[in-house]
Structure 1
C-alpha cells in the first residue's frame, strides 16, 4: 500500500528563528501513521522553537507533552486574540470566527461551555448508546448485504457520526449529505484563498441552522437543539447567534473528526498492525483500551497540532524560553502524544497499553466537549466490525489510497475493504 502525503512538503529553512532542526510549518512527513520526524528532533533539541509558517509569520511551536498540556490550560494563551481583527495569520491552520466556542476566552467561554456541556456528560451520552448501536448495526447490515469490495469511508466512517450528530440536532436525514459537504469545506485549510472556501461553507451552515432553529422553535422535538432553544427562550441564556454558532460547531467537530479518526484507525489496524486487529477479533473486551491507544497513536491532525493557534496575552516562560506578548503559539498534540518521557516506546502501537494519559482531545478549557460521544462511537464501530467481519482486509494492499488535500485532518477519500473468501 502506498501512502499519499496530504500536506505539501515545506522545504524552506527558517531564517533567523534559531530553529535549524525543522523547516517551514507545517512540516513535511506527517501522515496518519504519525507526526513529521521533525517533532522528535524538536522535542530533543528545541522543545519550544520559533518557526516560520506558510502564512508568512513566525510562531512558537511547543512539542513536549508536559509543556503542551500545561499551556493548553494556561489562560494567558488567548484564542480570542488569534481570531480577532489584525491577528497574525499562521499558515496551515483552520480559520475560525470570533463567536465560536473554540474562539472564546475566560468568562465568555466558561458561560457558553457551561450551557452546552450538560448535553455531553457521560451519563447523557450513555443514554445515546442504544441509538448509536442501532445506527451502526444498520450500516453493517447494509455492508454485509452488498458484499464484494466496499468503501468503508462511505459505508461506515462518514455516515455513522453524521447520522448521530444529525439526530442530536434534529436534522432531517435527507439533508445530512449536504451537511457533510459543508463540514468538509469548513475543515479545509485554504491559505492561498484567504480561507474563502472555508468561510463560504461556514455561511452555508449558518444559513441552514438559522432555518432549523426557526423550525424547532415552532415545532420542538426530542433533540438537543430543541432543548437549547427552550432554555434560551425561557431563561434568556443563549442568544440567537450563539445557538447558530453552536450548531455548526457541533457538526464540524462532532462529525468530521470522528469520521476521520475511525477511518484512519481501521486503516492503521488493517494495513500496519494486522496482528492487533486479530487480537481485537479474539477478545472484544480489549476494545475500550484499544480505542484510547488508537486515539494516541493514530495521527488525526494534518499539521500535527490542534490546528488552532493562540496568542500570548503576556510574556510566558516555558523552560528557559520566554514567549513574548503578542506572539503566535502552536501546541503540537501529536508530538506530545509521542513523548518518550511520558509514553514507553511511544512510536509503537500497543493496544494493551496500561498507562495512557494522551491528550488527543486536548486539555484545559478547550478540551473536546464530545470526547465521550467520540469514544463511544469508536468502540461500537470497532466491536461491530471485528465481530461481523473478522477477516476484514484491504481490497488491494498495494493500491495507493486517496486523501483529501488541504484539510486540517488527515482525511481518507475512500478505504476499499473486502472479507470472506
Structure 2
C-alpha cells in the first residue's frame, strides 16, 4: 500500500503546505485518536513539541482533533521526543505525540506517534490511521468531548528518568562539558541534568525564539560546539538535535565522534561487563565498515537494517539486542529507552569516560573509519531512475569491483526526491570513482 502521509519517521513537511497544515493535523488527531479508542476507560493522549514557531498551531489543531473524538489531552510543552515516549508509558496514556521535524530547519514540522508501550507505531498501524484520515471518523456527542490540561512537572520527571540511567557510584564532578541543545526541545533539561550530576556545564543553543532551531548549531552543525570545546578547555562536547533524539560528540581536541564510534564504545563496554544482549549491535546499512570490523574483533556481530531508527528498533526487538543506532547519532539503548535518546546515550558515554580516567580523544576513538563517500542526486519525483538499465548496469559493475574490499549502498530517500549513493572501501580513489560513475548515470536518468 502506497502511503500518502507517513514517511520513514512519522509525517513531515513544510509548515502550511500539505501535509503539515492545521487542517491535516486535526484530521491526524481524529484518526489516531479513533484508532486507539479501545476499552471503556477514560482515554488519554500525551502531546509534546519542540521549539518551532509552528508548534503552537500544530499543537492546537491536534488538541482539537483528539478531543473531538473523546480523548483527554495532556500537554507537556517543549520536551525531547524520548521524553514523550517515556511519559506516554508512565502516564498510562493510549497514545503519545511529538510535534517536531527533528534536525530540519524551523520552517518544517512533523508529527511522530507512539503507542501505549512507548514505541513508535508499526507500518500496519500507520496504514490503518491513514485509512481513517482519508475516510474520516465519527465524532463523539457533546458531553463526551475530551478535556485538555498542561502539566508543570514534565521536565522534572524526564530529568529524574535520565539521571537514573547513570551509574549511582559515579559523578561528573571535575568534568567540563559543553552541551549544544540546538535551540530545541532539550534546552532546559539537558544542561540541568548534567549540572545535577556534578558537571561544570557550558550551555550553547539554549535561547530558542521559534525561528532558530537547528540554525548553525546542534548535531548537524557542530562547528560552534567544536570551537567552544577547544576555546573553553572542555573535556567533551555534546550536540543534540532539535528534538534531542540524536547525539554527536566532540572530544577535547575538537574532533567529531559519530554514532558508529558511540555504538562501538557502548557495545564493547557492555560486552566486557557481560551485559550485551543478543551478541550483536544493530545498525543501518549506512554504518561504517570499520565499526563492523572492530566489533568482530571482540566476537560481536553487526546486524544491518534499512535506514531509519524505527527499523533498527524492530530488529533489536526481534533479535533481543539492547544496543543499536545510526551513524547520524540516533542511539537506542533498550535497557533505558524505547526510542533514540541523545541525553541518555551521552550519559552512558560519560560514564565510560569517568571510569577510564582518560581523555575523551583516547576513549572515544575505537576504530579508524573505512573511507566512505555519500552523494545525493536530486530527481523528478515522478521518475524512477534506479530502475533504468544504465543505472543498474553501473551499480552491478561497481559491486563487482568492490567485492571483498568494500560496500555499496544505493537507496531512495524516504523524505525527499533524492537518490543517495554511498560507497566505502579501503581504496578512497576507487570509492570516489565508483560513486561518481553511479551519480552520473542516475543524473542522466533523472
Q: TM-score, normalised by structure 2?
A: 0.27
Query: 1 or 2, which has the higher strand percentage?
Result: 2
Q: Which has the higher contact order (CA 8 A, sep 6+)?
A: 1
Query: 1 or 2, which has the higher helix percentage?
Result: 1
- Larger Rg over CA atoms: 2
